[in-house]
Amino acid sequence: MGLFGKKPLKIGLIGLGKIAVDQHIPSIRGNKNLELVAGCSPHARPEGVNAYPDMDAMLKAHPEIEAIAICTPPQIRHKIAKAVIATGRHVFLEKPPAATLGEAEAIKTLAAAKGVSLLASWHSRFAPAVETTRKWVSERPIKSITIHWKENVRQWHPGQKWIFEAGGMGVFDPGINSLSILTRILRDSVMVKKADLHIPVNCDAPIQVEMDMQTEAGFPIRAEYDFLQAGIQTWSIYVESVAGEKLTLSMGGTELEVDGKTLMKEKEAEYSGLYAHFYNLIQKKESDADFSPLRIVADAMLLGKRIAAPEYIE
Amino acid sequence: MGLFGKKPLKIGLIGLGKIAVDQHIPSIRGNKNLELVAGCSPHARPEGVNAYPDMDAMLKAHPEIEAIAICTPPQIRHKIAKAVIATGRHVFLEKPPAATLGEAEAIKTLAAAKGVSLLASWHSRFAPAVETTRKWVSERPIKSITIHWKENVRQWHPGQKWIFEAGGMGVFDPGINSLSILTRILRDSVMVKKADLHIPVNCDAPIQVEMDMQTEAGFPIRAEYDFLQAGIQTWSIYVESVAGEKLTLSMGGTELEVDGKTLMKEKEAEYSGLYAHFYNLIQKKESDADFSPLRIVADAMLLGKRIAAPEYIE
- A10, A29, A30, A32, A279 from A2: Cα distances, Å: 11, 12, 11, 5, 11
Of B102, B191, B305, Cβ closest to residue A106 = B191
Å from A11 to nearest chain B CA? 26
Find, among B28, B229, B45, the residue nearest to B37 by Cα: B28
Which residues in chain B are contacts of A303 at CB distance < 8 A? Answer: 99-100, 166-167
Q: Which distant-in-sequence residues (6+ apart) come within 8 Å of B220 by Cβ?
A: B144, B145, B212, B213, B214
Residue B99: closest C-alpha in chain A: A303
Task: Answer yes or no: is B119 within a domain.
Answer: yes
Same domain for A108 and A11, yes or no, is yes
Give the whole-angstrom CA distance, residue A98 versus residue B180: 23
- Pick from B103, B302, B306: CB nearest A100: B302
What residues of B are in contact with residue A204 (Cβ under 8 Å)?
304-306
Measured between beta carbons, the chain B residues lying within 8 angstroms of A195 are 166
Task: Say how many C-beta atoms besides its own lie within 10 A of residue B165's C-beta.
Answer: 16
Q: Domain for residue A314, yes or no? A: no
- The one-letter code for the residue type at B36 is L
Here the CATH number for the domain that contains residue A205 is: 3.30.360.10
Task: Tell me, yes or no, whether A249 and A279 share the same domain.
Answer: no
Say whether A166 and B303 touch across the interface (CB within 8 A): yes
For the segment A51-65, the average pLDDT, to the nearest whole number, is 97
Chain A partners of B78 at a C-beta cutoff of 8 Å? 191
A3 pLDDT above the threshold of 60? no
- Indicate whether A160 and A251 sit together in one domain: yes
In a shared domain, residues A261 and A139: yes
Count how many Cα atoms sit within 13 Å of the Cα of residue B56 in the half-sphere of its side chain: 0
> What ipTM was reported for this prediction?
0.91
For an interface test with A, which of B79, B85, B100 has the most A Cβ atoms less than 10 Å from its Cβ?
B100
The verdict on whether A10 is a catalytic residue reads no
Active-site residue, selected from the candidate residues B7, B32, B60, B95? B95
pLDDT digits (tens, 9 = 90+) for A212-244: 999 988 899 999 999 999 999 999 999 999 999
Task: Tell whether B234 is covered by a domain.
Answer: yes
For helices B101-114 and A292-303, give the axis angle rounded to 10 degrees.
120
pLDDT of residue B160: 83
Q: Which residues of B touch A102 (CB under 8 A)?
A: 189-192, 295-296, 299
Question: Vertex A277, ends A275 and A281: CA angle to 5°?
Answer: 115
Q: How far is CA A69 from the centre of its chain?
A: 13
Answer yes or no: do A79 and A134 share one domain.
no
B305: which chain A residues are within 8 Å (Cβ-Cβ)? 166, 204
CB-CB: which of B106, B297, B306 is closest to A199? Answer: B306
Phi and psi at residue B124, to the nearest 5°: -65, -25
Question: Is B68 within 8 Å of B11 (Cβ atoms)?
Answer: yes
Q: A101 and B306: CB-CB below 8 Å?
A: no
For residue A163, pLDDT over 70 is answered with: yes
Q: Which residues of B touch A192 (CB under 8 A)?
A: 100, 102
Could you give phi then psi for residue B55, rounded to 5 degrees?
-60, -45
Q: From chain B, which residues contact A within 8 Å (Cβ)?
A: 78, 82, 99-103, 105-106, 109-110, 166-167, 169, 189-192, 194-195, 199, 204, 216, 295-299, 301-306
Q: Above pLDDT 90, what percent of chain A? A: 86
Q: What is the largest CA-CA distance in chain A?
A: 61
Query: Using a CB-CB distance cutoff of 8 angstroms, which residues of chain A are in contact with residue B112?
Result: none
Same domain, A116 and A217: no
**Do B102 and A305 lie within an 8 Å CB cutoff?**
no
- Whether residue B303 contacts residue B194, with contact meaning beta carbons closer than 8 Å, is answered with yes
Query: How many CB atoms lie under 10 A from the CB of residue B228?
Result: 17
Please indicate, yes or no, if residue A175 is contained in any of the structural domains: yes
The confidence score (pLDDT) of residue A5 equals 61
- The residue among A75, A76, A79, A100 with the most chain B CBs within 10 A of its CB, best to mutate, is A100
A111 and A8, same structural domain? yes
The mean per-residue pLDDT over the stretch A58-87 comes to 96
End-to-end CA distance of chain A: 46
Domain presence at residue B195:
yes
- CATH number of the structural domain spanning residue B27: 3.40.50.720
Does the residue B314 lie in any domain?
Answer: no
Q: What is the mean pLDDT of residues A191-202?
A: 95
pLDDT value at position A80? 97
Distances (CA, A) of B202 to B161, B198, B252, B259, B309: 12, 12, 29, 43, 9
Domain of B209 in residue numbering reads as: 128-266+298-309
Query: For residue A100, what is the nearest residue in chain B, using CA coordinates?
Result: B299
The proportion of chain A whose per-residue pLDDT surpasses 70, expressed as a percent, equals: 98
Q: Which of A10, A32, A60, A95 is catalytic?
A: A95
Contact between A117 and A280 under an 8 Å Cβ cutoff? The reply is no
The end-to-end CA distance of chain B, in Å, is: 46
Short-list B29, B34, B39, CA closest to B61: B39
Report the candidate in B66, B70, B52 with the shortest Cα–Cα distance to residue B107: B70
Pick A296's closest partner by Cβ from B102, B166, B191. Answer: B102
Cross-chain Cβ contact A216/B110 below 8 Å: yes
Name B163's Cβ contacts closer than 8 Å, sequence gap at least 6. B153, B157, B169, B170, B173, B205
Instruction: Clarify whether residues A46 and A171 are in a common domain.
Output: no
CB nearest to B192's CB, from A100, A169, A204: A100
CA distance B63 to A11: 64
Q: Residue A28: in which H helix or E strand, if any?
A: helix A25-29
Nearest in space to A32 (alpha carbons), one of A56, A52, A54, A9? A9
At A111-133, the pLDDT tens digits run 999 999 999 999 999 999 999 99
pLDDT computed for residue B138 by the predictor: 96
- Whether residue A302 and residue B101 make contact (CB cut-off 8 A), yes or no, is yes
Q: Which pLDDT score is estimated for B3?
A: 52
3-state SS class at B226: strand
CA distance B211 to chain A (A): 13
Full DSSP string of B21-33: IIIIHHHHHT-TT
Instruction: Residue count of chain A, please give it.
Output: 314
pLDDT number for residue B1: 46
pLDDT at residue A265 in the model: 94
Sign of CA dihedral A172, A177, A180, A182: negative
Q: In Å, how far is B110's CA from the nearest CA of chain A?
A: 9
* pLDDT tens digits along A285-304: 999 999 999 999 999 999 99
> Chain A: nearest CA to B203, how far in angstroms?
9
Total structural domains within chain A: 2
Q: Which amino acid is at A249?
A: L
pLDDT digit string (tens) for chain B, length 314 residues: 445 567 899 999 999 998 999 999 999 999 999 999 999 999 889 888 999 999 999 999 999 999 999 999 888 999 999 999 999 999 999 999 999 999 999 999 999 999 999 999 999 999 999 999 999 999 999 999 999 999 999 999 888 888 999 888 999 999 999 999 999 999 989 999 999 999 999 999 999 999 999 998 889 999 999 999 999 999 999 999 999 999 999 999 999 999 999 999 998 889 999 999 999 999 999 999 999 999 999 999 999 999 999 999 98
Q: How far apart are CA A221 and CA A219, in angstroms?
A: 7
Query: DSSP character for A266?
Result: -
Please give the average per-residue pLDDT across A172-200, as a whole number: 96
CA pair distance A36, A11, nearest whole angstrom: 5
Indicate whether B212 and B76 sit together in one domain.
no
- What string of DSSP letters covers B238-253? EEEETT--EEEEEGGG
Q: Which pLDDT does position B303 carry in this prediction? A: 93
Q: Are residues B238 and B303 in the same domain?
A: yes
Q: Are B68 and B61 in contact (CB under 8 A)?
A: no
pLDDT score, position B161: 85
CA pair distance B303, B306, nearest whole angstrom: 9
Does any domain span residue A260?
yes
Q: Do A250 and A305 fall into the same domain?
A: yes
Within this chain, do residues B119 and B101 fall inside the same structural domain, yes or no? Answer: yes
Amino acid at residue number A75: Q
- The SS3 assignment for B17 reads coil
Which is nearest to A31 in space by CA: A57, A67, A85? A67
- Residue B159 is assigned to a structural domain of this protein: yes
Q: Which of A100, A296, A306 sits opposite B299 (nearest CB)?
A: A100
Angle at A235 between CA A233 and CA A240, to 5 degrees: 130
Mean pLDDT of A31-52: 94
pLDDT at position A257 over 90: yes
